[in-house]
Structure 1
Amino acid sequence: MAEGNVLYEANEWNYKAEGNYHVVVANPSGKVLRLRKLTPNPSKNVPESSENEIKQGLAFIEFVVQPLLRDSGLCSLPLLVKLSEKFITNVMKKIEKFRPEHRRSRGLDTKKSGVLMQDYCFLTRNKIWNDLKWLGAALSADTVAVEIKLKKGFRPMQNSHIKASNPCENICHFCRTQLYRVAVEKRFKACSLYCPLDLFSGNIDRMTFALRCLAQNPQNNFRVFLNGELKFSQQYLDDFMQEATTDAKLESLHEVISSVFVGSNPVNSLHHLICSMLLCHVCPKGVPDAPSRAAQFCEGLKHKQALQHQDIGTYPDTQISSCPPPSSVLGLILAAQRLNLYTIEQINSFNEVLKSKLSLPTGNELRSGQTGSGNVSIKNGQCVNKTESIETVASYVKNFLISKCFCDCSLIFAIKRINEPNTQVNEYLKKRTENSQKFASCDVIADNNGNYYLVSVAVVDTDPKPATRIPMYLDQHRTFVEWWDTLCEKEKD
């Protein structure tokens, strides 16, 4: 375990981002440090922050996340670091003025350890990088990085929780939740027109439309960095472009990335690179073919536009879509998300049986694979004794929690342009672009104009979900469904 003094001085760390439970700071050496926030109400289902909890999270990455990503290099193992109370206090003082105002009510927990990892807003110097530098390639001075929260990329074929013949049954979880967040909770000013089913479709037109929707209304699902500094986000649009059109927002994004992307439409080049990297093969070994499935469609867009029209353009007129390749970035994540096909009602029933049979109030045993003995069976979402082993039921719950992790993870792309390559570099670039196997840490991708870039992609935010959250997930689900059924009944009338 690294000690606090290995991490330089507190004044070298700068604010980068934060969520409900953590603040992320970065230093000039290309490292980021994730620090735990104070728990507002210990009685709520918030996982305990401790050195042991961090170790469990690291073990989850090593023994669950990395194998599911087929050792593709998409997810690296962070480092547990011991931090002094003085270090955390000084970091907190420095970053406080840079935090969003609505986040400042909760400070940092000064008695906890931290997690140290690479700053994925910058490229890793791997063999491809070294080869290009040796051949005399010049790279852009700036690095653009894009962070995307993918969300759940499929819709269960039968939404048993929705009333029969309900016209809203063909809407994905993200789009239904968006409508509730805007119409009822007033959490956002406008619905995000982004639909994860478009991004996971494997169809370039639908994927590009999804990326355009993310830029139009980023919320916390889309952020763009320049040399590690956040330059385009929902906060930026709220502060400076509240009444701007979609084209004006895309023009602002154009200005942020123009030092790296060349051509008349840098945003289109960015979209092309992201789509290419999402669909290319990143596994060093073969991946078993997934069952053949047609890409799904979601009808959420028309409901969002009915609630509040937005000038996003025309939805792609295409029915030609297939799921992404199994060995691609999207294919690997989608396969992990599909580990669970049970409803939350069924999962809650399974979990109740486990708690009664095994006394698992924290869910830690589920994450570590510790199960007891006994027999239960499942029928219509209910658990009945005699057929299925307790280990099988535990596997259902564990797969649900793993699936939730991959539904909530993010991708970070880092990009540098390769400038005016010489003959040797050109030959090398052509060979790399012809190679269908890509290194996630850093490889060559060409845009739609024939320009070459070094691109990396990383999967982040893969924290394990505790089983104690399952009742909360069920309550949220029931609230959404009740409201959604009422809305659909009104639309029928």
Structure 2
Amino acid sequence: MARSMHENAEWKYRGEGNCSLVVADPETHQVYRLVKTYFTQAMETLYPLDSSEPCCDHIVIEMRKIVDYVTNVMQPLLSPKFVTPPVVAEISEGFAEEAEKRNQNMRPASRRKKSVDLVDARSRSALVMPDFCFVSKRDSIPVELEETQPTISIEIKPKKAFIPSPVAIDRTSIKHQVCKFCMHQRLKTKAGKWPETSHYCPLDLFSGNPHQMKHALLSLVKTPQNNLKICKNGQEIYGACVKQDLSVDLEDFFKGSQHKKHRYEYMLLDLVIKILLAPGGRGGNCSHTHSPRHTKPQRCQNSKFEHTNGDVSLSYLPHGCVLERICSIQKLDDLDIENIYPLYHRLQARLKDHPTDRIHWGLDGPYTRDLWMMGSEVKASVAVSSLEFAVEKVKRFLISKTVQDCSIIVALQPVKPGVSEENSIIHFNDAYYRYSIELVDLDPKPFDKIEQYYRQDMDIVHAYQETIGKSRTKSV
């Protein structure tokens, strides 16, 4: 249901992507996603140029598709414990431009130069959801705690959690030795997007080994890029562009702790790891997919983590924890882009002669459970050569791509000693913390973007092999 925005709020910059600018209302603890020109330009390819409906109507249609996708696909797969669908909200004329203007200085310089990064002034709608930098109100929270205790949130964009199976692609491929994120870093630094490659490796975070996970989080602290952001009371204190002294900012959060200030950063990471490994999150489970509980973790050759005896054998992700959920749904893609690409071309060839199949298959929505809820396996009765097989595998790939780009937001707030231990309360170092875990950035991926994914994959592998070749030449 559409709602009016709080027009007099002091809207704060919260972040942005290619398609949207996100601002937060510190009074109501809500965030609004305002669409950019990039979003509407991509959207207009779906609608005829002579359409009698105004652009703002099409924006609402596309926003509702996002809501449907999160509600009907992402939430059931990832668990309602971790996913809160957004709603469509009305905005008044001129509001988006004013919000953009007020927060212009907070935006990355690279986002201020391109016309596609401007908000689209024609839009009269935004996607609204709770501000997950504060503990989610799934449970009742005493007002006095909200007002007197600081809240720390850490946002992690974990990226792809696994290396492709040898069954999916050539056993000699470099993709079996090095994860996609680590290879992609070489391409990004080559293109000048980041001054140095990240020290982070997703396989370390998804290992289930607390020591290895801490190595991953410390690597993100060292090179956060757009994969790590820490906020205090909704205000960014650490990330790609803001690097305040965490020991100072965390002092009142860990008030009463016997540890020294320089230990606060490590305490926060240990606390976050404990939450990320909590079985079932807050007691939730998901039956749509199931990963073996003691599957041997994969290794990425680019990781700088040094294993000790017993590290690998003892490591696994507890069933139902947020990282296990993410990894399981990412693995709905069991073919890799190399094998998805030919299926995509088969479907495109079919659509040239039967364009209505695009609607029948729901490739651009509607995102209903009937069309988009994927089981853990394609039905045995479906022939590999059939169009049904191609459609389902492509959809599984697109779902996986969504989850590869999602973000985890963990919000934490101290509570008074003696509080009853609920699902959303965690005991750590003789103190208690109320917490929430939320998954965001769960928009559907366009079917036609598969062509771009394939080209990008080739560029990523080439860039990595090129840098490896140069390093070998230097060492000779």
TM tier, shorter chain? 0.7 to 0.9
- Residues of 2 paired with 1:189 and 1:400: CA distance? 31
Partner of 1:326: 319
Q: How far does residue 457 in structure 1 lie from its aligned partner after superposition?
A: 0.8
- Residues of 2 paired with 1:181 and 1:362: CA distance? 37
Partner of 2:134: 122
Q: Secondary structure at the match of 1:151?
A: coil
Q: Which amino acid aligns with 1:170?
A: Q
Pairing of 1:83-102 with structure 2 (within 5 A): 83-102=91-110
Q: Which amino acid aligns with 1:198?
A: D
Q: How far does residue 174 in structure 1 lie from its aligned partner after superposition?
A: 0.4
Partner of 1:53: 62
* Match status 1:189 vs 2:195: yes
Q: 1:163 to 1:47 in 2, by over 3 A?
A: farther
Q: Which amino acid aligns with 2:251?
A: S
Q: For structure 2, which runs of at least 5 residues remain unmatched after alignment?
A: 48-57, 369-382
Q: 1:476 to 1:55 in 2, by over 3 A?
A: same
Partner of 1:29: 28
Q: 1:362 to 1:196 in 2, by over 3 A?
A: farther
Q: How far does residue 121 in structure 1 lie from its aligned partner after superposition?
A: 0.6
- 8 Å CA contact 1:140–1:416 kept in 2: the answer is no
Partner of 2:372: none
Pairing of 1:212-291 with structure 2 (within 5 A): 212-237=218-243, 252-261=245-254, 262=257, 263-264=259-260, 265-280=263-278, 281-282=280-281, 283-285=283-285, 287=287, 289-291=290-292
Pairing of 1:2-21 with structure 2 (within 5 A): 2-3=2-3, 6-9=4-7, 11-21=9-19
Q: How far does residue 161 in structure 1 lie from its aligned partner after superposition?
A: 5.8
Q: 1:458 to 1:363 in 2, by over 3 A?
A: farther
Partner of 2:393: 396
Identity over aligned residues, as a percent?
A: 29
Q: 1:236 to 1:65 in 2, by over 3 A?
A: same
Query: Which of 417, 425, 429 is matched with 1:444 structurally?
Result: 425
* Match status 1:406 vs 2:396: no
- Residues of 1 paired with 2:2 and 2:224: CA distance? 36
- Residues of 1 paired with 2:357 and 2:448: CA distance? 6
- Residues of 1 paired with 2:442 and 2:39: CA distance? 23
Q: How far does residue 45 in structure 1 lie from its aligned partner after superposition?
A: 10
Partner of 2:55: none
- Residues of 1 paired with 2:43 and 2:65: CA distance? 20
Q: Which amino acid aligns with 1:344?
A: I
- 8 Å CA contact 2:168–2:335 kept in 1: the answer is no
- 8 Å CA contact 1:162–1:485 kept in 2: the answer is no
Partner of 2:122: 111
* Match status 1:344 vs 2:355: no
Q: 1:151 to 1:332 in 2, by over 3 A?
A: same
Partner of 2:377: none
Q: Secondary structure at the match of 2:347?
A: helix
Q: Secondary structure at the match of 2:98?
A: helix
Partner of 1:299: 301
Query: Which of 200, 222, 229 is matched with 2:206 structurally?
Result: 200
Q: Please report the RMSD computed on the Cα atoms of aligned residues, expressed in angstroms.
A: 3.1
- Residues of 1 paired with 2:151 and 2:332: CA distance? 35
Q: 1:37 to 1:363 in 2, by over 3 A?
A: farther
Q: 1:171 to 1:46 in 2, by over 3 A?
A: farther
Partner of 1:69: 78
- 8 Å CA contact 1:355–1:361 kept in 2: the answer is no
- Residues of 1 paired with 2:208 and 2:430: CA distance? 21
Q: How far does residue 300 in structure 1 lie from its aligned partner after superposition?
A: 0.9
Partner of 1:148: 156
Pairing of 1:442-481 with structure 2 (within 5 A): 443-447=424-428, 449-481=429-461
Q: 1:459 to 1:225 in 2, by over 3 A?
A: same
- Residues of 2 paired with 1:124 and 1:44: CA distance? 32
Which range moved further: 60-69 or 347-356?
Answer: 347-356
Pairing of 1:157-168 with structure 2 (within 5 A): 157-158=165-166, 164=172
- Residues of 2 paired with 1:103 and 1:156: CA distance? 33
Q: Secondary structure at the match of 2:385?
A: strand
Which range moved further: 210-219 or 117-126?
Answer: 117-126
Q: How far does residue 190 in structure 1 lie from its aligned partner after superposition?
A: 1.4
Partner of 2:177: 170
Q: 1:339 to 1:45 in 2, by over 3 A?
A: farther
- 8 Å CA contact 1:223–1:232 kept in 2: the answer is yes
- Residues of 1 paired with 2:432 and 2:344: CA distance? 50
Q: How far does residue 95 in structure 1 lie from its aligned partner after superposition?
A: 2.1
Q: 1:363 to 1:148 in 2, by over 3 A?
A: farther
Q: How far does residue 187 in structure 1 lie from its aligned partner after superposition?
A: 1.7
- Residues of 2 paired with 1:197 and 1:138: CA distance? 35
Partner of 1:315: 306
- Residues of 2 paired with 1:445 and 1:276: CA distance? 9
Q: 1:490 to 1:47 in 2, by over 3 A?
A: farther
Q: 1:141 to 1:475 in 2, by over 3 A?
A: same
Q: Which amino acid aligns with 1:180?
A: L
Which range moved further: 77-86 or 285-294?
Answer: 285-294
Partner of 1:374: none
Question: What do the CA deviations read for 1:421-472 (whole angstroms, capped 9, x no partner)?
Answer: 2xxx25x23xx4xxxxx3xxxx11122x222111111000001100111111
Query: Which of 347, 364, 368 is matched with 2:365 structurally?
Result: 368
Q: 1:289 to 1:55 in 2, by over 3 A?
A: closer
Partner of 1:417: 414
Q: Which amino acid aligns with 2:435?
A: V
Q: Which amino acid aligns with 2:427?
A: A
Q: Secondary structure at the match of 1:7?
A: coil
Query: Which of 170, 173, 180 is matched with 2:187 structurally?
Result: 180
Q: State the number of aligned residues.
A: 430
Q: Which amino acid aligns with 2:184?
A: T
